[in-house]
Chain A
Amino acid sequence: MELFERTASELSSMLKNKECSSVEIIESIYNRIDKVEDKVNSYITLCKETAIEKAKEVDNAIADGKELSSLAGIPIAVKDNISTKGIKTTCASKMLENYIPPFNATVVDKINAADMVITGKVNMDEFAMGSSTENSYFKKTRNPHDTDRVPGGSSGGSAAAVAAGEAIVSLGSDTGGSIRQPSSYCGVIGLKPTYSSVSRYGLVAFASSLDQIGPIGRSVEDVAMLYSAICGGDKMDATSKMREYPDFKAGLSADVSGLKIGIPAEYYGEGIDDSVKAAVMNAVKELEKNGAVVKNISLPSTEYAIKAYYIISSAEASSNLARFDGVKYGYRAKDYTTLVDMYEKTRSEGFGDEVKRRIMLGTFVLSSGYYDAYYKKAKLLQQKIKQEFNDTFNDVDVIITPTAPAKAFKIGENSDNPLKMYAADVCTVPVNIAGLPGLNIPCGSDNGMPIGLQIIGKEFSEQTLFNAAYAYEKTMGNLCKIPSLD
């Protein structure tokens, strides 16, 4: 078995037992990248030199018998909307094609402090707006399980890199499903953490009140470890919560006896493929066999979540992306006359169509005369949806739903139809609207394409989600098999 195929926890103990070196691990990763990257297109920027430097440091530290974190020497890919000092951070946009941040995102400082090795910056939908990674200005990432299909999005690069063995783990960001849906399409494990549990400082904002950075990996242990490394309150992010966060890996337990699982009818209705429903319900049965208790529940406001989501996220985006005006950084149009002309040309040439659509929708719902009818109504709806979830969690410990309505679609299939594209988020957006944690785990396949289920819990109940997933993983064995891509 090659090093790139192993999980972080396996590699961690191999490093401790001197069965391999960090440099060998990173070389194995780059060999894999050399072999498959032209088929997958996960990466926008590779950081081979700095990565090998870092790996050497780790090896020396181990040789000197230093006490290192369990993630030391583990290769990690970082989504290209997470600021890395001295390394291009493009958000897959022409607007930031050559932008090099002078500072690190807080999560990047944390993974550096844990001595993880950054392999490079991975592809995404432009400014994280999309569900297929087709909206990248640079390249279309392909699904490692079928390169004619999309990897999902917006964190398509993060999911595909891990699924293809081009990274051991990765960081993505999730505003409406951007970690869970691509994880589902690529057959890996991805967590959208509780809002406020991971610092957003340095994450280029799409929708501030919904964005969360989260971990992706090929085992529950790996995802739990990485989440432990990145979570925690941050003085630089006023919306992050200062509280005690446990060691989630140490807390893992496969015992689900008595765990109350809610199955909300609204997530299994029309528009969800039968193959998906079947795969999810089989997984639920497995947990039931392990002693979990299944309850049928209802979340009636679900159908409205997607409306509220597109209003709130677009409103915030229209404001967050206004700073890209060709003055301080990023792209500036070549020929212009006045200031306004410079603004308009710069933004029209620098942004792709989907980004323009969202900016204009957001501008519209906030514009005078429409605020109450759209933005305010959406916020009220958000209050209601939160309340519905909170009430439900008085009766159940977790909620299990499909992560996506169907397996990964073909590249180009939905490109010209924004609404069909948005439908891919229908199961994931309510979780962001409510600020809750959601975890995707693979639970079967449809003609070789992975299908994922989503475990939703109450605020800060990540340990419960990990344990449910861990129990399923223990029953089924390895959930994330790397395709050969030969």
Chain B
Amino acid sequence: MNNNYEMVVGLEVHAELNTASKIYCSCKNAFGLEVNSQVCPICMGMPGTLPTLNEKVVEYAIKMGHALNCKINSVCKQDRKNYFYPDLPKAYQISQAEVPLCENGHLDIMVDGKTKTIGVTRIHIEEDAGKLLHDDSFAGSLVDLNRCGVPLIEIVSEPDIRSVAEAKAYLETIRSILQYINISDCKMQEGSIRCDVNVSVHKIGEPFGTRCEMKNVNSFSAAIRGIEFEANRQIEVLENGGVIEQETRRWDDAKGESILMRTKENANDYRYFPEPDLLTIVVDEEKIAELKNSLPELPNAKLRRYVDEFGISQNDGALIAESVEKAKLFDEAVALKKGTPKGIIKWILGDISKYINETGKSVSDMKVTPERLAELVGIIESGQISNASGKIVFETMLTEDKGVSEIIKEKNLSQNSNTDELEALAKVVLAQNEKSVTDYKGGKTNALGFLVGQCMKASKGQANPGMMRDIVIKLLSE
């Protein structure tokens, strides 16, 4: 992006909540089932039907509100957003306009080692729409209403984001929080998190430019591509002496470009008004406090703890903290006080992450339990086996359901740290290599390496290298 410019980005993240039932009816909240099989007269918008609000949706939204340091509005309401479209059976979406459930929050993100605070304007609850299927073998578009009434929270950020990197960090932090408090599956391919993006650009030092909204951004990576494209598009317009019109654009990820949907003039007139089929939402303060206390330790807090208590680097700490599973494995292994946190983290970020990425397996379905990981690291750090042997033990643990010591015994990998045995062995080796011994004594110190190597070889690699070296030096100095 042109260095004379700065981008200003605000994000609206829509996350589907993993409740058992839909937001306004008792239909199953499930993905990927047969078309129109999870539908009832209510979510199909049949005449005379009425909505009833799912209590879990309110609780989940409040949890997210707490996680993002929001003010919770214990008294709020819902409103209708009116527009015609085949995926919206009632021709209005029940949402929240004037008074959202949560507002005025903030979120700390980490961008190359530095912390930045992004404002969170509001979090409100609303219902998802159905899906339109397009297939040329049909005379028109097909409507599947299974997704109608799936509960959503919309998280609206302040326009505090100034770069693609910040946008990426913000989105990833939001996702990891959603997973930590377990209110959304965050399955991108299932579209369970989507976002709308607001982008403007301005010359550094000059006032903000006119913003454009970009809809239909169905994954975080698409959001990043979209922001990049849109910022550059606007800069190009300005550089060519043009002006940016406030407009709504649609992101086409396949083509990698945004297309004009509507200009400000013909903006939608949604005719919001209070939903008369629902009364006031009133949550008592005890419940709000209870939900706050129910929150687990969140990624930012974990990261701070890892850095402060264990002296782990920001980057390593962040890599663990942003993943619920890795953080769980790490915390449990550390708690056993067998291996050092630094030793344990090396394995998780190294071999374990590699294994997970390659196999697509999750930490939980790995045979390497926290106990086994801690034990392995402990044994290596105590010098009972070498790092090389450690890797062999790990490989075996991945495939065979066996304990660390069991594997060490089987493959007899334990290191020989018995001074007398090692000394005896060293005497034999030195006797066989008189030339090198004299070279060493004559000042050719590099002969030492050769001699130690010979001793290790004679021990079939099982001698404790450190001890072996000390013994050789001792004997040579006699």
Which A residues are within 8 Å of any B CB, using their own CB? Answer: 81-83, 89, 91, 96, 99, 101-103, 105, 200-205, 207-209, 235-239, 315-316, 318-319, 322-325, 327-329, 339, 343, 363, 366-368, 371, 375
Contact among B48, B269, B273, B279 for A205, CB-based, below 8 A: B48
Contacts of A235 in B (CB 8 A): 52
B47 touches A322 (CB 8 A): no
Question: Which B residues between 98 and 126 are near A, CB-CB below 8 angstroms?
Answer: none
Given contacts A209-B276, A328-B89, A368-B269, contact A319 B48 (CB under 8 A): no
Q: Is there a chain A Cβ closer than 8 Å to B271's Cβ?
A: yes
A315 touches B50 (CB 8 A): no
A239 touches B41 (CB 8 A): no
| Chain A residue nearest to B42 in the complex (CB) | A236
Q: What separation, in Å, do the CA atoms of A239 and B53 have in the docked complex? A: 11
Contacts of B91 in A (CB 8 A): 319, 322-323, 325
A202 touches B277 (CB 8 A): no
Contact among B41, B49, B90, B277 for A322, CB-based, below 8 A: B90
| 0/1 interface trace, chain B 50-69, chain A, CB 8 Å (1 if under) | 11110000000000000000
Q: Is there a chain A Cβ closer than 8 Å to B143's Cβ?
A: yes
Known: A96-B47, A315-B273, A325-B91. 16 other contacts (CB 8 A): A81-B48, A102-B41, A102-B46, A201-B48, A201-B50, A202-B48, A236-B52, A237-B50, A238-B51, A239-B278, A318-B82, A319-B91, A327-B86, A328-B46, A368-B269, A371-B271
Given contacts A323-B89, A327-B143, contact A99 B47 (CB under 8 A): yes
Chain A nearest Cβ from B281, distance in angstroms: 10
Chain A nearest Cβ from B327, distance in angstroms: 40
B45 touches A208 (CB 8 A): no
Contacts of A328 in B (CB 8 A): 44-46, 89
Instruction: Say what secondary structure dominates the interface of chain A.
Output: loop
| Chain A residue nearest to B270 in the complex (CB) | A368
Contacts of B52 in A (CB 8 A): 235-236, 238
B273 touches A239 (CB 8 A): no
Q: Is there a chain A Cβ closer than 8 Å to B84's Cβ?
A: yes
Q: Is there a chain A Cβ closer than 8 Å to B92's Cβ?
A: yes
Q: Is there a chain A Cβ closer than 8 Å to B194's Cβ?
A: no
Q: What separation, in Å, do the CA atoms of A202 and B90 have in the docked complex? A: 15
Contacts of B92 in A (CB 8 A): 319, 322
Chain A nearest Cβ from B149, distance in angstroms: 14
| Chain A residue nearest to B268 in the complex (CB) | A368
Contacts of B90 in A (CB 8 A): 322-323
Q: Is there a chain A Cβ closer than 8 Å to B22's Cβ?
A: no
Contacts of A202 in B (CB 8 A): 48-49
| 0/1 interface trace, chain B 314-348, chain A, CB 8 Å (1 if under) | 00000000000000000000000000000000000
Given contacts A319-B92, A322-B90, A339-B86, contact A329 B46 (CB under 8 A): yes
B84 touches A89 (CB 8 A): no
B49 touches A316 (CB 8 A): no
Contacts of B271 in A (CB 8 A): 318-319, 363, 366-368, 371
Contacts of A201 in B (CB 8 A): 48-50
| Chain B residue nearest to A234 in the complex (CB) | B50
Q: Is there a chain A Cβ closer than 8 Å to B80's Cβ?
A: yes
| Chain A residue nearest to B81 in the complex (CB) | A319
Chain A nearest Cβ from B272, distance in angstroms: 8
A319 touches B80 (CB 8 A): yes
| Chain B residue nearest to A241 in the complex (CB) | B279
B273 touches A204 (CB 8 A): no
Chain A nearest Cβ from B263, distance in angstroms: 15
Contacts of A89 in B (CB 8 A): 47-48
| Chain A residue nearest to B85 in the complex (CB) | A339
A319 touches B273 (CB 8 A): yes
Contacts of B273 in A (CB 8 A): 315-316, 319, 366, 371, 375
| Chain B residue nearest to A330 in the complex (CB) | B47
B279 touches A238 (CB 8 A): yes
Instruction: Say what secondary structure dominates the interface of chain B.
Output: loop
| Chain B residue nearest to A322 in the complex (CB) | B91
Q: What separation, in Å, do the CA atoms of A263 and B338 have in the docked complex? A: 88
Chain A nearest Cβ from B368, distance in angstroms: 49
Contacts of A339 in B (CB 8 A): 86
| Chain B residue nearest to A326 in the complex (CB) | B86
Contacts of A200 in B (CB 8 A): 48, 50
| 0/1 interface trace, chain B 214-246, chain A, CB 8 Å (1 if under) | 000000000000000000000000000000000
| Chain A residue nearest to B44 in the complex (CB) | A328
Q: What separation, in Å, do the CA atoms of A343 and B52 have in the docked complex? A: 28
Q: What separation, in Å, do the CA atoms of A253 and B84 have in the docked complex? A: 53
Contact among B48, B86, B269, B272 for A101, CB-based, below 8 A: B48
Contact among A105, A209, A343, A367 for B48, CB-based, below 8 A: A105
A-B contact pairs, 6 of them (CB 8 A): A102-B41, A103-B41, A200-B50, A205-B277, A322-B90, A325-B91
Q: What separation, in Å, do the CA atoms of A208 and B276 have in the docked complex? A: 6
Contacts of B51 in A (CB 8 A): 238
Question: Which B residues between 7 and 48 are near A, CB-CB below 8 angstroms?
Answer: 41, 44-48
Q: What separation, in Å, do the CA atoms of A366 and B47 have in the docked complex? A: 22
Chain A nearest Cβ from B24, distance in angstroms: 9
Q: What separation, in Å, do the CA atoms of A366 and B79 have in the docked complex? A: 12
Contacts of B41 in A (CB 8 A): 101-103
Contacts of B278 in A (CB 8 A): 238-239
B276 touches A238 (CB 8 A): no
| Chain A residue nearest to B87 in the complex (CB) | A327
Q: What separation, in Å, do the CA atoms of A481 and B332 have in the docked complex? A: 84
| Chain B residue nearest to A240 in the complex (CB) | B50
A343 touches B84 (CB 8 A): yes
A325 touches B50 (CB 8 A): no
Closest 10 CB pairs of A and B: A322-B91, A366-B271, A208-B276, A209-B276, A204-B47, A202-B48, A83-B48, A204-B48, A323-B45, A368-B269
Chain A nearest Cβ from B97, distance in angstroms: 11
Chain B nearest Cβ from A46, distance in angstroms: 21
| Chain A residue nearest to B80 in the complex (CB) | A319
Given contacts A208-B276, A238-B53, A323-B91, contact A203 B48 (CB under 8 A): yes
Contact among A204, A239, A323 for B277, CB-based, below 8 A: A239
| Chain B residue nearest to A376 in the complex (CB) | B273
Question: Which B residues between 68 and 83 are near A, CB-CB below 8 angstroms?
Answer: 80, 82
Contacts of A318 in B (CB 8 A): 82, 271
| Chain A residue nearest to B145 in the complex (CB) | A328
| Chain A residue nearest to B278 in the complex (CB) | A238
Q: What separation, in Å, do the CA atoms of A236 and B24 have in the docked complex? A: 10
| Chain A residue nearest to B277 in the complex (CB) | A208
| Chain B residue nearest to A103 in the complex (CB) | B41
Chain B nearest Cβ from A101, distance in angstroms: 7
| Chain B residue nearest to A379 in the complex (CB) | B274
Q: What separation, in Å, do the CA atoms of A375 and B45 have in the docked complex? A: 24
Q: What separation, in Å, do the CA atoms of A371 and B274 have in the docked complex? A: 12
| Chain B residue nearest to A344 in the complex (CB) | B84
| Chain B residue nearest to A211 in the complex (CB) | B276
Q: What separation, in Å, do the CA atoms of A343 and B44 have in the docked complex? A: 18
Q: What separation, in Å, do the CA atoms of A256 and B36 have in the docked complex? A: 58
Question: Which B residues between 434 and 454 are near A, CB-CB below 8 angstroms?
Answer: none
A101 touches B53 (CB 8 A): no
Q: What separation, in Å, do the CA atoms of A205 and B52 have in the docked complex? A: 16
Q: What separation, in Å, do the CA atoms of A289 and B448 have in the docked complex? A: 128
| Chain A residue nearest to B83 in the complex (CB) | A322
Contacts of B53 in A (CB 8 A): 238
Chain B nearest Cβ from A369, distance in angstroms: 9
Contacts of B279 in A (CB 8 A): 238-239
Q: What separation, in Å, do the CA atoms of A7 and B428 have in the docked complex? A: 122
The interface centre, meaning the residue of A200, A318, A325 with most chain B CB atoms within 10 A of its CB, is A325
Q: What separation, in Å, do the CA atoms of A113 and B285 have in the docked complex? A: 41
B48 touches A322 (CB 8 A): no
| Chain A residue nearest to B274 in the complex (CB) | A379
Question: Which B residues between 269 and 315 are near A, CB-CB below 8 angstroms?
Answer: 269, 271-273, 276-279
Contacts of B48 in A (CB 8 A): 81-83, 89, 101, 105, 200-205
| Chain A residue nearest to B25 in the complex (CB) | A236
Given contacts A322-B92, A327-B143, contact A238 B50 (CB under 8 A): yes
Q: What separation, in Å, do the CA atoms of A101 and B44 have in the docked complex? A: 12
